[in-house]
Structure formats: structure tokens, C-alpha cells
Amino acid sequence: MSVRDRLLLYLRKRLESDPVPLRLVFWDGYQFDFAPGPSVTLVLHSDEPIRALLRGNFERLGDAYVNGAISIEGKIEDVLAVGISLAERFGRPGVLQRLTRLTRLIPHRRSAEADAANVQHHYDVGNDFYRLWLDERMIYSCAYFKTGLEDIHTAQRQKLDHICRKLMVRPGERLLDIGCGWGGLLVWAVTRYGANGVGITISERQYAYAKELVAASNLSDRIEIRRQDYRDLRHDSAFDKIVSVGMYEHVGLENLSSYFSIIADLLEPGGAFLNHGIVATDPKGRARGPAGGEFIDRYVFPGGAVPHLSRVLVEISRAGLEFADAEDLRPHYALTLQHWSGRLEAHRSDAIRTAGERRFRIWRVFLAGMACAFDRGWLSVAQVLSFKPLGSGGASRPWTRAYQYAENPPDRDAIPCAATWTGPTTEEWATEGPPSPQLRGVV
């Protein structure tokens, strides 16, 4: 029996009770449909990938796709659905686990040089490549949808505004953006809210782009862009507000305590910090969804790691900051990734010309797979807001979330905040009833 016949016999037995919409095309032109009207075609250009199929080794198949040993035809969402179905049935899948875990839990402490190499691998693909599928401001993080019907440009503007509102950014404040990307958030905060900004990144391409953006926006006297590791901020002067969006995933679980401690030291008393990043949905940080594989570790996101939200809150509190608010944005990121994936598909020829066929194949799988992971709840993303306590020990903070959603944001000094107690004593409470606190100052 030929290797082709062995493969077909094996697959037909495994799939006959519940066929998948897959057409298998062999190197000699022979083809077999596992269901009528298949939506996905898998083309084997040689017999090399057959061993991986027979063994259910989807990690090897991922390598074969990236390296051109197999081709896949069909809409990317259909391709992913068939891939997940096969992975779940064969019980030895590979590629998709890295779509739900992102990395091994590395036990040793990484150096700044290693982190820089990992970041450059991910972000220094080329600004022209990212420009094809990101929004007009080059925001590479979860967008914020109010109806789900917005285009990606509108949703990203809403995200930038949502962050600035949460932080209560006001004119003249010093804002630090850790992992500033291509500079979009800083430009928004400075032009719309009057802040003065400092942004750091260790990506050469992002640094160059952000510098040019700031200069072109005539904001060089208001925004400073640095090519700098967060660990080198230890002796910087204090900031009124600090934000980190989609960056702490690069820090490594073993470095979270140091990361949040540095941020706490950099904040002025009463200052606010917002951390926006991916979180695991398993309490122990284990992968959810189909298991196995090192696809993203090797090809897309080396050195990344995501904790459960509970670990984030513990580390923030351990650093001396007071946790105030957490917002889960999982559905927002699923839709964001769907927009990105669709835009990459629409610009396929330009993406291949800009970054090469191999890079296009990698990112095609990555974006669509991550969209699926967030849609199914295998991963989530959270915005965590915290404050640095004042000298008295407590943190001044708004009573409610209303200030974040007002049609016209109120003046920052007019937002009611819980502040240092200056109301009646316990004895006065007992004789006069519940007091009306006098608020002294805001953050």
C-alpha cells in the first residue's frame, strides 16, 4: 500500500462518522474530498508532510505550511475551523496551543539584551507591513467598541480616549507610556488632553516612526521618545500618570514584581497607573483550547508570557499600588483581531511583496488563530487601573466609573473623589447621623 493510500485510509476511518469540509490534493494531482463541497483545500507538494498527518503532529504541519511544503486554500476563518476540528479529533494537535499560551514558563531571569532581541523579532518586521492591516494611527493593541459596528479606525480612537479618561489625564501632567509603540497614544494624550509625554520602546522601527510622527505633529517640545528598556527608568524623575498597553506580555512572569515596583517608584503620590494586557483565563496560567506546539514561540512572539488576572492584581498590590478597577475586554480583542485578519487578507499581495510569502503565512495563522482564541475565551485582555497612595496611606480616587463614560468628560478637578477624611469623628457620627464628607483634593 502506497503512503498516499495509507494516509487516505487512516483519515477516512477517523473522519467518516463526522466528515470535515476538507479537500486533500496530492503532489501528483490526485484529490479526495472528505465532505461534499469542501470549503478548505490542503495541497501536499511532496510526501514529506504525510508522516506528520499520520501522527497527528500539527506542530510539524505548521512548520510545513510556513516553509511552503503544503498550501492551504480557502477563507482563513474556514481554514482555522477545519484545523481546530482536526486537532481536537486527532488528540495530538500542535499549532494552536501557542495561540492560547504564547510561551513556555521560562524559569530563569531574562536579560535586557534578550528582551530586546525578542521585541525586535516581533515588531521590526517593517512599518510598511504593519501599516497594511493596522488602523490609521498604527495602534497595535485591543480596540474599544461601543456598538461592535465601528470600523477599526473609530474603535482605536475610542480606545485611546477611554484610556485617557480612565487616567484622568489633564493639562500639564507628565505622562509616561511604557512600550509606546508607534506613538499614537502619546500624540492623542498631548493633543486632546494637554499632557506632556515620554514614551519608551526597544524596537528600532517603532522608535524611528514615533520620532518622525512627533516631529511631523510639531510636538517635539511636548513629547520625548526614547529607545530605552523599562529597567533603565529606575532613576528617572516622577510622573503624574503612567500607562502600559500591550507591553507587559514581553516582561516575563519572573520579572513582574520588578516591573510593577519600578512603575510604583516612578509615580507621584496620588498618581494613576493603567496596565492594559493579555491575561490567561485558567487560574494557574495553563493553556486552554487545543494543546501542543511551539508555533508562536518560534515564529511570532518569542519570550512572551501572560499570567492570570489574579497574579497581576497581587503583583500590583505587592508593589505598593492600590488597585481600583479592572475591565475585561475579551470580546473587544476578538473583534479587533478579526478586523486585523480581514485587512491582512485583503492586502495579501502587498503583504507578500513587503514581508515575503513566509512572513505572510505566519501572520495569517497568528492573527486568525488569536481571534479564535479570544472569541472562545481561551485568552482574555484586561485594563487594570491603580493609584499610588498619598502620604496618609490611602489613595484618592473617583467614587464611581461615571467619569469614564460621560458624553462630555467633566473637568478633572470636578470629579468627585474619595480623599483624606476631614469629616466628623466617630462620636459625632453617633450623635448626628451619617456625615457628609468634605473632600480635600483629588488625584
Q: Are 69 and 123 within one domain?
A: no
User: Cα dist. 38→17, 29, 345 in Å?
Assistant: 16, 17, 20
What value, to the nearest 5°, has the Cα angle with vertex 409 and ends 404 and 412? 90
Helices within 217-347 (DSSP H only): 256-266, 295-299, 309-318, 330-346
Q: Which helix (H) or strand (E) holds 142?
A: none
Q: Are 356 and 231 within one domain?
A: yes
CA 321 from chain centre, in angstroms, equals 23
- Profile the chain (443 residues) by mean pLDDT over runs of 10 residues: 80 82 91 91 87 70 83 87 77 46 41 52 72 96 97 98 96 97 97 97 94 97 97 93 95 93 96 96 73 55 79 96 96 97 96 92 88 90 96 78 80 64 47 44 35
> Order of strands, edge to edge, in the sheet holding 239-245?
223-227, 196-201, 174-178, 239-245, 267-280, 379-387, 322-328
CA-wise closest residue to 246 among 315, 172, 344, 156 = 156
Q: Would you state the pLDDT for residue 300?
A: 64
Domain boundary among 93, 120, 151: 93
Q: Are 216 and 344 within one domain?
A: yes
Q: Are 405 and 381 within one domain?
A: no
Q: How many domains does the chain have?
A: 3
Cβ contacts of 212 within 8 Å, gap of 6 or more? none
Q: Would you state the pLDDT for residue 81?
A: 83
Do the domain assignments include residue 299?
A: yes
Q: Are 331 and 251 within one domain?
A: yes
Do the domain assignments include residue 101?
A: no
**CATH number of the domain encompassing residue 159:** 3.40.50.150
Do the domain assignments include residue 372?
A: yes
Q: Are 236 and 298 within one domain?
A: yes
Do the domain assignments include residue 104?
A: no
Q: Are 126 and 164 within one domain?
A: yes
* 67 C-beta neighbours (distance < 10 Å), count: 12
Q: Would you state the pLDDT for residue 427?
A: 52
Structural domain harbouring 65? 3-93
Do the domain assignments include residue 102?
A: no
Q: Would you state the pLDDT for residue 410?
A: 61
User: Cα dist. 374→159, 167, 195 in Å?
Assistant: 18, 26, 33
- Read off φ and ψ for residue 197, nearest 5 degrees: -120, 150
* 335 C-beta neighbours (distance < 10 Å), count: 22
Do the domain assignments include residue 336?
A: yes
CA-wise closest residue to 198 among 235, 163, 234, 236 = 236
Q: Would you state the pLDDT for residue 93?
A: 41
CA dist 391 and 350 (Å) reads: 56
Q: Are 305 and 373 within one domain?
A: yes
Q: Are 209 and 352 within one domain?
A: yes
CA dist 119 and 203 (Å) reads: 6
Domain boundary among 61, 93, 125: 93
pTM as predicted: 0.82
Q: Would you state the pLDDT for residue 302?
A: 61
**CATH number of the domain encompassing residue 74:** 3.30.1050.10
Q: Would you state the pLDDT for residue 299?
A: 67
Q: Are 38 and 154 within one domain?
A: no
Q: Are 85 and 152 within one domain?
A: no
What value, to the nearest 5°, has the Cα angle with vertex 71 and ends 66 and 77? 85
Q: Would you state the pLDDT for residue 210?
A: 97
Handedness of CA 307, 312, 314, 316 (dihedral sign): positive
Do the domain assignments include residue 89?
A: yes
Q: Are 253 and 126 within one domain?
A: yes
**84 and 278 in contact (C-beta within 8 Å)?**
no
CA dist 83 and 95 (Å) reads: 9
Do the domain assignments include residue 98?
A: no
